[in-house]
Amino acid sequence: MTVLEIIRTFISENLIKDHNLSINENVQLIEDGYLTSLQTIELVMFLEDRFQFEIDPELVNEENFRTLGSIAELVQSRTEVR
């Protein structure tokens, strides 16, 4: 599974809870109301746990959480830093 697929699976199974909903890489997660602040925190906690790094609160912003693609980029950039 790629990073993107892992994130997509978590969001559709745990946050949106609609397995039939197809979230592609470019769906606007914030603008279209998929992510509330609570769901974002749940996602952050999942990412930290799954990929073993800490996300600074400053990085939890619209730019990094706009789409599945931008979240995957954030994860990849953080894991590369290590």
Partner 1 sequence: MTNFKIFSSEPAAGVRISFYEPHFFDQVCGLYRIVFGADAAVAFQARWNWAQQDNLCPGETPKWVLLAGERVIGFLATIPLHYRMVGRDVLAHTPCDYMVHPDYRFHGIKLMREFFRTCDNCVACDEIPATIKVTKWLGAKQAGVLQRYAKVLDARALRRGRFRAVPDSLWRVGTLGLRWYDSVRAVTSGSNLPVETVHEFDERSDLFFEQVSRNIPASVMKDCRFLNWRYGLGSPHSNRGIGVITNANGELQGYVIFYSAEHPPQTGYLLDLQVMPGVADSIANSLLNYALECLRRSGAWVVQFHRLSSPHAVPQQILQDNGFVARNTHQFLVKIRDESLREQVLQQENWMYSFGDSESSHAIV
The site for partner 1 (CB under 8 A) is made up of 30, 33, 35-38, 40-42, 44-45, 57-58, 60-63, 65
Nearer to partner 1, 38 or 81 (CB): 38
Does residue 34 contact residue 22 with C-beta atoms inside 8 Å?
no
| Minimum distance of partner 1 from residue 34's CB (angstroms) | 9
Count of helices and strands (H, E) across the chain:
4, 0
Does residue 39 contact residue 3 with C-beta atoms inside 8 Å?
no
| Minimum distance of partner 1 from residue 1's CB (angstroms) | 26
Phi-psi region of 52 (alpha: psi -120 to 50; beta: other; left: phi over 0): left
| Minimum distance of partner 1 from residue 67's CB (angstroms) | 13
Nearer to partner 1, 35 or 75 (CB): 35
